[in-house]
Structure formats: C-alpha cells, structure tokens
A and B are shown apart, each in its own frame.
Chain A
Amino acid sequence: MLSKINSFALSGVKGYKVDIELDINSAMPSYDVVGLPDAAIKESRERVRSAIKNSGYDYPIKKITVNLAPADTKKEGAVFDLAIAIGILSASEQIPVGKYKDFIILGELSLDGSIRHINGILPTIIAGVENGYTNYIIPAANSNEASYIDGINVYPASSLHDVVEFLRGNKLIGILASHEYTSDVNESRYTVDFSEVKGQTLAKRALEIGAAGGHNTIMIGPPGSGKTMLAKCMPTIMPSMTFEEAIEVTKIHSISGVLDSSVGIVTTRPFRTPHHTATIPSLTGGGSNCKPGEISLAHNGVLFLDEMPEYSRKTLETLRQPLEDGIVSISRARQTLEYPCNFMLVASMNPCPCGNFGSSNPCKCSPSEIHKYINKLSGPLLDRIDLQVEVDSIAYSDLRSNANAETSIDIKKRVEIARQIQRERLKGTGIFTNSQMNNRQLKEFCVIDKKSDNLLEAAFNKLSLSARASTRILKVARTIADINQETDIKIQHVSEAIQYRSLDRKYWE
C-alpha cells in the first residue's frame, strides 16, 4: 500500500514542503529512505520500529520504501520520524486513509514512542501558514513556541500512541490556545541594572545614546574598569521588541536550538558575547549545514566583543559587510542562505597592551606598541563604530555616590521616546534609526547652524580629528537632540558628540 504524509523542512530561516511517500511491498523485509536523507534520517528506521512496537502497534515485516520529495534536496535531522511512523501505520492499514492528509506532521520519536522536542518549529509553521496549511501535529514540548501564531490549529502530541488514537478518532487532542505577545516589561529578568554601576557618567551616557540611535559603540578603558558590566547592562535600556522583531529573533534561535522551550518566544533582546577565539564561521554562520552564527543570533540585539583587538583581524573584517547591510549571506558548495543580522555592536578594548595607559597605574608600553595595538582595528571597521568612549578606572568611578544613579528603566524611557521620534522622522525611508542614515538623509535631517559648523571646523583643525569623523559626529548629534526631544541640532549636541570620538583623536601616542 502507498501513503503520503505532509511535512516541512527548513532551509535557513525559510521552510519548504516535504512529501513523505511511503510504500510497503511484499518482498524481502527491508527499510530504505531515499531523497537525500542524512545519517539521522537513515537511522530513523530503528527509532520508528521500536516506537511503533512499544506503542502497541504492528511493525510490518515487509519491504518499506520511504521517499522524501523533493528528492534532490538534502534533508537533515529527525523531524520526519513521526511522519514516517504514521505513514507506515497508514500504509499497513492500521490508521484509516485520508484523515492524516489534512495535517502537517512534525516530530522526533523516542524508542518508547514518546515524541521529542525539535528545533525550528516556529519558522517551519510560519512557512506552512504561508503555503496555506492550517492543521499541525507537533511535539508537545514545542507547544509554547507554536502558540504565538494566530489562525491555525495546532495539536500538541506527546506520544505516538496519542497521535494514532487521535487519527483513528478514539481520542481527542486539544487545540493549542494561542498566546498574545506582550513584550516582556518585567525588568526583574535582568540580573544587572545601570543604577548598580558607580560613576562612569560618560560611558553610561554614550551607551544611552547608542541604544537610542542604534549606534555601534566601543569602550576603551583599563582592565577591571567595568567595561563588561556596562555592556551587560546594555539590553536593560534597549527598547522593547515588537512582535515582528520577536518572531524574527525566535526563528533564528529556534533553528539554532538555543530557544528556551518553556517560554517559546524570545522576548528580551539577545545579548551575545562570543569569545575572542571565535572562528569566522562561528561568527558569521556556516559549517556544512549553514547554521546561523553569533551575529545572526544577536539579530535585533547586542553583539558584545570583549577585548576587541584580541580577535583575529580576519574575523573582525568579516563583520564589515554585515554591519553595513544587516544581512549575511552564507554561500557553501551545496547551498546559499541568508540570515538577518541587524545587531548593535558593543565592543571593549584596553588602551594599550598592558592596559594601564591613561590610568593611575604606570603604563609599561612604548608609544609604538600602543600605536600598534590601537591600529589593530582597521579604519573601515572603526568607520562603522559611531561612539568611542573612554571608561574610567575604578578610583574615579567611586567618586560619585550611588544615590543619584539612574535606573535602567528611567534611561529606557528616554531611549523609547528618542526611538519614537526617529521612527516618525524617518517614516517612508525604510530605516528606523539615525545610525542607518545615508548621506542624502544626513543632509536632510542633520542640518546644523553656523555656530555649530564653526565649532565642528575648529574641532577638526585644533583637536586633530580625522576626516572620517564628521558624518559620525552629525549622526550622534542628531540622536542626542532626539534624546533631549529637540527638533534642531544645537551646538551643545555637536560638542557632546565630538567628545565621543576618542580613538580618532591622536593623543593616543
């Protein structure tokens, strides 16, 4: 007998339909999967046989042929286990024909017949919805993740037995109630808060501006000055994610298997901290199965590179194109995939190899060593970092008492307002933040008066700023004005913006 089950597979964040065709013949007993399966799919034979047997059904001692159509695309993982088992039971006439045809069936089987959690359920179902399918049988462990999609019937099943009895009409599986997305405003989920950071007025201010305008930020300071702590506070002041943003993030996290299945959706902005030994594929994505990399996992969130000059130069240079485009295209011999990677880069570095330059401790480095260290970051990369701020050594951060420190919530409010102003101003341009402005938009939205222009010119001449700083300063000045809720860029906004160009200033020698 022949049976055909509907299922879906993923290619990057996009899904495509897979027809699982199953034929049982009276011939020498065997089990063959065709249609470019990987090892995990070929091994399904053992899982499927044991699961059927242990669920109390008969495994046919016949020649079983499974075809995964389209046959020319390579398929991976164990998501087809459940579909294959249902196919076998239906082809051996243990399940009535027809009933299963309405369903998209997804799930991995355990030997005892229970259904296990799978990765990438959200993007899979979204692809199914786009193709017009409304009924899904999925692992119960994935139900939280699936519950955020409206207008479909999802049947979460926990065992093969449940599914078979459901299809036979002997048992009911309740349709999953859909969840309403609320961007999580419960701040207690963060373990850090800006009010806990002592002093560091300038650095905090820079991070606030960074969050408000989506500006990439680098912090320069001696070891132990709290750069990492400041960076960890960053997500607490980022604006809350919209549902669309959350879905995009969840899709990527779901594919990578880093999604917390008890929540099912990513509600807080991601904060990724790859170590400086990170390889290029681990950062950009890749490998034989084109997995998303750290920059995609940081999509809509923060990518924090601690001790940036320690990363290999090649690795850092690969960030240039993604930083510009917000999308990374991974090409391998077999396939080319695109992952979104619209992240805010936050980096930290020491001012010199020994780390003490400019602090109260004596620095042991020669000028050429310092020069070399700073130059590890290439010009084009620094070009994409708008804010460069110095972080103080501890002695000076103790100076100010904790009493009047602002909490993250206060700062976040200002950030949200500034973002709102930007969204309205940039309506119809396809961008949302000041950092994304191109030259034409810069001319339109960043008009400065004569006084500010003179200051900018004087700053260039007298403070030995490098020429590439000017557009950065204007963009940052625009964001500062937005935070202060002013329509025009004033001289104080420009002069504050100039202060955040530490690396451009040539006093580092």
Chain B
Amino acid sequence: MYNNDERALIWLNSFNISTIKKNYLINNFISPYEMIEDFEDCKDIICNVIGERNYSIMKNVCNTEYIDKLISDIDAKNVSVITNCSDDYPVLLSDVLDDDAPIVLYYLGDISLIKTQCFAVVGARRITRYGRDVTEKFTRDLTTSGFTIISGMARGVDSVAHTECLNFEGKTIAVLGSGIDVVYPKENRDLYCRIATTGLIISEFPLGTEPLPYNFPQRNRIITALSCGVLVTEAGMKSGSRISANLAIDQGKELFVVPGSIFSEQCKGCNHLIKSNDNCVMVTGINDILEKYDIKKRQEIVHAIQLDFVEQAIVLELEQGKMHFEEILSKSNLEVGVLLTTLMSLEVSKVIRKIPGNFYELQPN
C-alpha cells in the first residue's frame, strides 16, 4: 500500500512533464500530498511552473478515483514502485542527479541490487563481431569480479552485456527507455523475462510509455548515475553511448573506453572519446578497470589444451587472422572429411570458431 505522499507522486509522474519541473513543483509544497490538496487553491504557483495547459489537464484528473486506477494498473502488472520520499530510494540518484532525479521509479525484480556496486556496460545498437567479442569479454570479467552489470536492454551492446552477465550467473540491471511493461526491442522478450526473475528492471516512465527517441538519452542519466564506472565497448560517431560517456564525466564517474580499429566505422566513436577526452581511460583488459577500484588484479587464466600436430599447425596459421576453409584446405593438404573433423574438434574445444562465409578464426578470450 502506498501512503498519501507516494500516491501523489505516482499521480504527478503519470504526466508528461520534465523531471526538473516535477521536482521544482514538489519543492514548492510541504509535501507532495499537500500539493494535491491545494491543487486548485495554488493555481498561480503551479501554472508558473507547468503552464496553463498542463494545469487544466491535470486538474481534470486530480481526484482519488484516478489515482486508485493508476495504482490498480500498477498492481495488476505486478510492478513495484519506489518514490523519492521512501527510505529505499537510492541515495546515488538524488545525490548525483539532484533536481533531475526521477520522483518515481517503477521496477520488476530485486530492488536491493541497486545498492550493490554497479558497473555500466554500454555501446552502440549496431555492433560488429569485434564489438560483440569485446562486450562479452569485459562483461564476463566484470561479472566474475563481483560487479552488477547495468545497461539499457537496447539492441547490440546492451543486450549482449545483459545476456553474457546472466550466462555467468551474475546480477544485472536493465534501465528502460519505455514504460516498464513495454518490451523494446521486441526480440528481447526472453531477455526481459530473465532479467525480471534474476535481476532488476527499472524505468522512470509511467506504464505504457512508448519507446520514444527522446526517452533514451534521459534514461542514460540513470544508468550512469547508478554505476560506479561506465565502460563503452563499441560506438560509432553517431551512437547514443557518446551521450552516456559525456554524462558519466559530468557526473564524476570513471569512464572506460575500449579502442577499436581505425578503419572501422563502428569504432570511430570510441576512438574519438579516447583521443579527445582527458578523463577517459583506455582499457585493453579487465585489470585496467580493476586497478581503479583497488580490486586485486586477476591472473589471466590460460586453458592449456593438448593439441596434436595438425591442430597446432592450423592454430598457428590462424594466428595471422581469419582464414577461409579453402585456404586452410590447400595449405594443410588434408582430405575434406579429415579437415572438417579437425576443425570441428578445435571448435568444440573452443580454440577456434567458425564465422559466416566459411571462415575460421581463433576464439578470442
């Protein structure tokens, strides 16, 4: 059950007004409940903040029935709510975001995760194989070092980070740019359910909010505010993760960026961040991050796999870069069947991998 102040905040949050104005409005009253009580009496004060039009919209539904309906909708979807007047409200958010801190957070899952040490892994929606590898590697290492992985559940880097974290039984938080009951992108429905059961999904947007473009930069500020550091794994020049990077620096967070190929369009954003930003730390391995947090460095574990002569020869060739099946075939002088068997056994022991177009390359780790 929600107390009167919480009910007032949920009501206020259901309107499409900027967070700063919402916070400003509340600060004009003793408590959020007072604001609703005096909504008609204090018309002038309120109109000054939000304008005549919004005022008349809000006045129409400023009644207990409407609030009851909002809350019954929330309950029907098993969504929980914390507001900035409850004790559970994350201090980090109000400290870092100040008057831009969301007044209400809707969530699904384990809210206590918000108090753990969170690390943001963000990047472009459109990623290359390299971006995927990098994201998987760092997510894996961060997860096993005890960080909670926080990201935005968008396509690309975000999804990879969440998935990889869950695969290693880590804890993960998704901050959505839509209403908490709206799954976007749709193909992430499975991921959404997995995070909801073992992790945490939060959103500041009222139920049913569509994933509108301007919601995403807004939710980025929550991702960075909740985390102790932000890692950008792959981003093009136009990627929204550059906004996150700038936010992280403004908020005084550590910013880590993985460099990429100078030829790749999708790496230009990252490389640019490294080049132009003094506060940004370039990382090439997990230890670059861990030393910033005084966590004991980790030994690179090398899995020694016994390879036979032919396998060694193939691995040696692949160290030069990816190779086409025909190339390996002509260099190895093996029969097709025999070569396929060898490649398969190498693949199963995760030494090499097959990539589209009949290419093989070493498994990155």
Contact A202 B325 (CB under 8 A): yes
User: B336 touching A492 by the CB < 8 A rule?
Assistant: no
Interface assignment of B293: CB less than 8 Å from any CB of chain A: no
A41 within 8 A of B: no
B340 touches A492 (CB 8 A): yes
Tell whether, in the assembled complex, residue A462 and residue B350 are in contact, meaning their CB atoms are under 8 Å apart. yes
When distances are taken between beta carbons in the complex, the residues of chain B under 8 Å from A480 are 337
A458 within 8 A of B: yes
> In the complex the two chains form, is B327's CB within 8 Å of A399's CB?
yes
Whether the Cβ atoms of A455 and B357 lie closer than 8 Å is no
Give B342's nearest chain A residue, CB to CB. Answer: A495
Contacts of B340 in A (CB 8 A): 492, 495-496, 499
Asked if A455 and B348 sit within 8 Å, CB to CB, the answer is yes
Complex Cα–Cα for A350 and B350 (A): 28
CB distance from B344 to the nearest CB of A (A): 4
Q: Which of B127, B185, B330, B337 has the most CB of A within 10 A?
A: B337
Contact status A462-B326, CB under 8 Å? no
CB pair A390–B344 under 8 Å, yes or no, is: no
A504 at the interface (CB under 8 A from B): no
Residue numbers in A under 8 Å from B330 (CB-CB): 399-400
- Chain B's interface size range is 20 to 34
Q: Does B347 contact A (CB under 8 A)?
A: yes
Closest to A397 in B: B326
Look across to chain A and name the residue whose beta carbon is closest to the beta carbon of B344. Answer: A495
B-binding segment of A62-70, A266-274, A297-305, A363-371: A363-371
Q: Are B358 and A202 in contact (CB under 8 A)?
A: yes
Beta-carbon contact of A392 and B357 below 8 Å: yes
Whole-angstrom distance between the Cβ of A261 and the nearest chain B Cβ: 44
Selecting from A26-34, A115-123, A351-359, A431-439, the interface stretch reads A351-359
- In the assembled complex, the CB of A485 is this many whole angstroms from the nearest CB of chain B, namely 13
Quick one: which of B126, B330, B341 has the most chain A CB within 10 A?
B341
Interface string of B315-328 (1 = CB under 8 A from A): 00000000011110
**Does A321 reach chain B (CB closer than 8 Å)?**
no
In contact, A462 and B348 (Cβ under 8 angstroms): yes
B211 at interface (Cβ–Cβ under 8 A)?
no
B213 at the interface (CB under 8 A from A): no
In the assembled complex, the CB of A57 is this many whole angstroms from the nearest CB of chain B, namely 71
Q: Across the interface, which residues of B come within 8 angstroms of A392, CB to CB?
A: 324-326, 357-358
CB of B8 to closest CB in A, whole Å: 41
- Among residues of A, the one whose C-beta sits closest to the C-beta of B348 is A458
Contact A199 B348 (CB under 8 A): no
Q: Which residue of B lies closest to A462 (CB)?
A: B348
Would you call B155 and A396 a contact (CB within 8 A)? no
Taking a contact as CB atoms under 8 Å apart, the answer to whether A495 and B329 are in contact is no
CB neighbours of A400 from chain B (8 A): 326, 329-330
Partner of B344, one of A199, A397, A498: A498
Name the distance in Å between A335's Cβ and chain B's nearest Cβ: 46
Does B338 belong to the interface (CB within 8 Å)? yes
Asked if A491 is at the interface (CB within 8 A of a chain B CB), the reply is yes
A472, chain B: closest CB distance, angstroms: 16
A461–B279 CA distance with the chains assembled, in angstroms: 42
Instruction: Say whether B338 contacts A492, CB under 8 Å.
Output: yes
Q: How far is the CA of A458 from the CA of B350 in the complex (A)?
A: 10
B250 at the A/B interface (Cβ < 8 Å)? Answer: no
Are B357 and A367 in touch, CB under 8 angstroms?
no
Cross-chain contact A396 with B337 (CB below 8 angstroms) = no
CA gap between A201 and B343 in the complex, in Å: 15
Given A368-B185, A499-B344, decide whether A202 and B355 contact each other with a Cβ distance below 8 A.
no
Q: Tell me whether A201 and B355 are in contact (CB under 8 A).
A: no
Q: Does B156 contact A (CB under 8 A)?
A: yes
Q: Is A190 an interface residue (CB 8 A)?
A: no
Q: Tell me the complex Cα distance, A393–B77, Å.
A: 51
Task: Choose among A202, A493, A495 the residue that contacts B345 (Cβ–Cβ < 8 A).
Answer: A495
Q: How far is the CB of A299 from chain B (nearest CB, A)?
A: 32
Query: Is the C-beta of B354 less than 8 angstroms from some C-beta in chain A?
Result: yes
Chain B residues contacting A484 (CB-CB under 8 Å) are 337
| Least distance between B339 CB and chain A CB atoms (Å) | 9
Q: Tell me, yes or no, whether A181 is within 8 Å of chain B by CB.
A: no
With a cutoff of 8 Å between Cβ atoms, the chain B residues found around residue A505 in the complex are 354
CB pair A359–B357 under 8 Å, yes or no, is: yes
Bitwise, B349-365 to A at CB < 8 A (1) or not (0) is 01000111111000000
**B190: Cβ under 8 A from any A Cβ:** no
User: In the complex, which of the residues B187, B336, B345, B359 contacts A455, with contact meaning CB atoms closer than 8 Å?
Assistant: B345
**Closest approach, in angstroms, between the C-beta of A481 and any C-beta of chain B?**
10
Complex CA–CA separation, A462 to B353 (angstroms):
10
Q: Is the CB of B336 within 8 A of A202?
A: yes
Per-position 1/0 for B286-327, Cβ under 8 A of A: 000000000000000000000000000000000000001111
Q: How far is the CA of A498 from the CA of B357 in the complex (A)?
A: 16
Q: Is the CB of A507 within 8 A of B348?
A: no
Nearest residue (CB) in B for A461 is: B348
A463: Cβ under 8 A from any B Cβ: yes
Q: A367-B156, A458-B348 are in contact. Are A358 and B338 (CB under 8 A)?
A: no
A496 to B354, CA, bound (A): 13
Q: Assuming A495-B344, A496-B341, is B326 touching A199 (CB within 8 A)?
A: yes
CB within 8 Å for A399 and B324 given contacts A357-B356, A358-B356, A368-B155: yes
A61 within 8 A of B: no
Q: In chain A, what residue has the closest Cβ to B340? A: A496
Q: How far is the CA of A450 from the CA of B188 in the complex (A)?
A: 38
Contact A459 B348 (CB under 8 A): yes
Tell me how far the C-beta of A470 lies from the nearest C-beta in chain B, rounded to whole angstroms.
15
Chain B neighbourhood of A320, CB < 8 A = none
CA distance A368 to B359 in the complex (A): 22
**A205 at interface by CB-CB < 8 Å:** yes
> Interface code A391-413, partner B: CB below 8 Å = 1, 0 otherwise?
01100110110000000000000
Contact A507 B356 (CB under 8 A): yes
B344 touches A459 (CB 8 A): yes
A508 at interface, CB cutoff 8 A: yes
Task: Check B336 against A396 for contact (C-beta < 8 Å).
Answer: no
Which residues of chain B from 147 to 175 have a CB within 8 Å of any chain A CB?
Answer: 155-156
Residues on the A chain within 8 Å of B350, using CB: 462
**Chain A residues with CB below 8 A from B329, complex form:** 201, 400
Chain A min CB distance to B113 (Å):
28
B358 touches A507 (CB 8 A): no
Contact in complex: B356, A393 (CB < 8 Å): no
Once bound together, how far apart are the Cα atoms of A493 and B340, in whole Å? 9
Q: Contact between A507 and B345 (Cβ–Cβ < 8 Å)? A: no
Give the complex CA separation of A455 and B355 in angstroms.
Answer: 20
- Could you say which of B185, B326, B357 contacts A358, with CB atoms under 8 Å apart? B357
CB-nearest residue of chain B to A493:
B337
Residues 142 to 161 of chain A near chain B (Cβ within 8 Å): none
Bound CA span A207–B181, Å: 49
Contact in complex: B344, A455 (CB < 8 Å): yes
Interface string of B104-125 (1 = CB under 8 A from A): 0000000000000000000000
- Whose C-beta in chain A lies nearest to the C-beta of B327? A399
Neighbouring B residues of A357 by C-beta, 8 Å: 356-357
Whether the pair A393, B185 counts as a contact (CB closer than 8 A) is no
Contact check: which of B126, B336, B341, B345 meets A367 at CB < 8 Å? B126
| Closest CB in chain A relative to B208 CB, distance in Å | 23
Can you report 5 A-B residue pairs in the complex whose CB atoms are below 8 A from each other?
Answer: A390-B357, A399-B324, A399-B330, A455-B344, A492-B337
In the complex, besides A371-B187, A396-B326, 17 extra interface pairs with C-beta distance below 8 angstroms are A201-B325, A202-B336, A357-B357, A367-B156, A390-B357, A396-B327, A399-B330, A400-B330, A459-B344, A459-B348, A462-B350, A492-B341, A493-B337, A495-B340, A496-B336, A496-B337, A498-B344
A interface residues (Cβ-Cβ under 8 A, vs B): 199, 201-202, 205, 222, 351, 357-359, 366-368, 371, 390, 392-393, 396-397, 399-400, 455, 458-459, 462-463, 480, 484, 491-493, 495-496, 498-499, 505, 507-508
Chain B interface (Cβ < 8 Å from any Cβ of A): 126-127, 155-156, 185, 187, 324-327, 329-330, 336-338, 340-341, 343-345, 347-348, 350, 354-359
3 smallest CB-CB distances across A and B, nearest first, come from A358-B356, A358-B357, A495-B344
